[in-house]
Amino acid sequence: MKPARRHARAPVAALIAVAAMLQPLHAQEAMVELTVTRADTMIGLSRQVLVTPQAWREVARLNRLRDPNRINPGQVLLIPQRLMRSAPVSAKLASVVGDVRVDGVAAVAGAEVNEGQKLQTADGASAVLAMADGSRLRLPPSSLAEVAASRNYGGRAADSNAAVSDGWFAGALRVLRGSVEVFATKVLRAKPLEVITPTAVVGVRGTQFRVGFDEAANASTRSEVVEGVVRLDAGKQTSGIELRAGFGALNDAAGAAPRVARLLDAPDLASVPELFERPLVRFKPATQTDVLRVQVAEDSAFDRIVSDQRVPVGTDVRIAGLDDARWYLRARRVDAQGIEGFDASRAFVLKARPEPPAYRSPRADAKQSIGAVEFAWAANVAATRARLQVASDAAFNTVLIDRDNVADASSSALIDTAGVYHWRLASVRADGDHGPFGDAQRFELRPLPEAPKGGPSADGKSLVFSWGARPEDRQQVQLARDEAFTEIVAQDELKTAEWVLPTPGRGGKYFFRYRSIEPDGFVSPYSSTLGIEVPRNWTPLWLLLPLLFAL
């Protein structure tokens, strides 16, 4: 393996990072090329660069120096990385969302995370850890990791904050629960940036990949490469493998060879709406045939993830607890092994507040006759007024009533045309912030009964009443002595719109009305009242006249 050269700043000799590509297990150890400058001395190098002054003997032997006590400007020395002095350098939290803790203590963006410290994200929380070489490690919700290594090699050993460019960097993150997404910078390192789990080590020099660990699933480790190449070491029983972009692998505590699979294509998110108007963001992915991992973040880079869930096949995606804002959604398909595929992302806006009032009347599919319609609702306490709309179509293309400043929780409207109508409400805050409309409610207005006609028949022996009605309706009829219908003398239920009954024996004023019962159970109001005069029957008096004359 040929080292790659890079000149360092004087007076320290140029530390040249080996262009160490991923190697098979037990390959030759990584070497550093050190080019001697005029300011360098053998004693100075052994003290500043090497772990101990005694290590110089091994360096001299490795480089076959004829005189180990003499070095010359321009001379190139190979130094094993293990013999180079190193100093710890802190990683920093580039982003923090929600409950993120370092060694159990609440953390904020900009906080340092040192070797041996644990970083934990709660449900609904996420963090981005920036390593000293510029690599970014993103921890989604419900993850636990430890900074296993963060060291600068070959630089100024006494200064832990020395720039990585002064030497080589070596970093490692141990994933104890959950997962991590890695964006490794393409810089020269003392050793590959590593992600370690109890069952695997994934090393890389510059790429984008993901590693997840599940203790419950036989301590399985999944690795997915989005860009570049990584090396996966799954244990002593198996040889390490190269995992290239577009592939993933799964291994577990059993120690068998990793099971490699091609990453699934990104899911189709075209059906996801751009605007959601309910606090529960809910949608059904198009043609979903695999489990989905769905994440929501505050930013398009997905550094600030606030929601992370797996969605079974055939199940709606449900995301609760989001504030009104612009959000970023991404999803990836998960194969039968649990290996996650490529991402699809989409932005959406949530505008669900102030929430609409709770409807009271008319209820959905209510029926009544034309006339005054009373609308009532329970007001949203977060709003000062409501907006009421009534339309003749479900899409509200034809709005008949639009009242945007209703302070009370009710409003009345006169509608004198029969038909199907729709009404909806929205809440409005004092500052004019208009919330979304609630789901529209459907109601129907039926025509009023026609005025009845009729009275005594031509021969005076019966009363005949008729009115206009549909053949499928039943008719309830009443005849009373008073207009208030407290003294009913006859009533019936008919299948036709005509009522014939014997003329009452008692003459005088009578009153008739009817109402219809439609097949769907709707009962109309009573019709207008028809008053009739029933002639008095004078026949008994004529029979008494001969008796009167006999007197």
Q: Which of these ranges, 198-207, 413-422, 434-443, has the smallest mean pLDDT? A: 198-207
Cβ atoms 124, 155 nearer than 8 A: no
What CATH number does residue 38 fall under? 3.10.350.10
Within this chain, do residues 56 and 19 fall inside the same structural domain, yes or no?
Answer: yes
What CATH number does residue 313 fall under? 2.60.40
The beta strand positions in 315-429, using DSSP E, are: 317-319, 325-334, 340-350, 358-361, 366-369, 371-378, 385-391, 399-406, 410-415, 419-428
Q: Indicate if the pLDDT at residue 547 is higher than 70.
A: no
Within this chain, do residues 372 and 439 fall inside the same structural domain, yes or no?
Answer: yes
Distance separating alpha carbons of residues 305 and 299, to the nearest angstrom: 8
Within this chain, do residues 370 and 442 fall inside the same structural domain, yes or no?
Answer: yes
Distance separating alpha carbons of residues 24 and 250, to the nearest angstrom: 19
Within this chain, do residues 413 and 368 fall inside the same structural domain, yes or no?
Answer: yes
511: its two tokens: 């009153």
Domain count, the chain: 4
Domain boundary among 84, 114, 142: 84
pLDDT at 188: 64
Q: Residue 458 domain-assigned? A: yes
What Cα–Cα distance (Å) separates residue 230 from each residue in 205, 206, 208? 8, 9, 9
Domain boundary among 60, 84, 108: 84
What Cα–Cα distance (Å) separates residue 19 from each residue in 2, 4, 5, 31? 7, 5, 9, 9
Q: Residue 243 domain-assigned? A: no
What range does the domain containing 321 cover?
275-350
What CATH number does residue 515 fall under? 2.60.40.10
Higher local confidence (pLDDT), 390 or 37 = 390
pLDDT at 28: 57
Within this chain, do residues 485 and 504 fall inside the same structural domain, yes or no?
Answer: yes
What is the tens place of the pLDDT at every residue in 334-382?
999 999 999 999 999 999 999 999 999 999 999 999 999 999 999 999 9
Q: Residue 319 domain-assigned? A: yes
% of the chain residues with pLDDT over 90: 72
- Give pTM, 2 decimals: 0.78
Within this chain, do residues 76 and 46 fall inside the same structural domain, yes or no?
Answer: yes
Within this chain, do residues 530 and 458 fall inside the same structural domain, yes or no?
Answer: yes
Q: Residue 268 domain-assigned? A: no
Within this chain, do residues 318 and 374 fall inside the same structural domain, yes or no?
Answer: no
Within this chain, do residues 300 and 370 fall inside the same structural domain, yes or no?
Answer: no
Distance separating alpha carbons of residues 208 and 451, to the nearest angstrom: 81
pLDDT at 551: 57
Q: Residue 98 domain-assigned? A: no
Q: What average pLDDT does the chain have?
A: 89
Within this chain, do residues 380 and 404 fall inside the same structural domain, yes or no?
Answer: yes
Domain boundary among 39, 68, 84: 84
pLDDT-based confidence at 14, cuts 50/70/90?
A: very low
Q: Residue 170 domain-assigned? A: no
pLDDT-based confidence at 421, cuts 50/70/90?
A: very high
Q: Which of these ranges, 99-113, 225-239, 485-499, 507-521, has the smallest mean pLDDT? A: 225-239
pLDDT at 41: 82
Q: Residue 374 domain-assigned? A: yes
Q: Residue 467 domain-assigned? A: yes
Cβ atoms 207, 189 nearer than 8 A: no
What is the tens place of the pLDDT at every residue in 425-477?
999 999 999 999 999 999 999 999 999 999 999 999 999 999 999 999 999 99
* Residue among 533, 491, 531, 532 at smallest CA distance from 514: 491
Within this chain, do residues 481 and 513 fall inside the same structural domain, yes or no?
Answer: yes
Within this chain, do residues 25 and 77 fall inside the same structural domain, yes or no?
Answer: yes
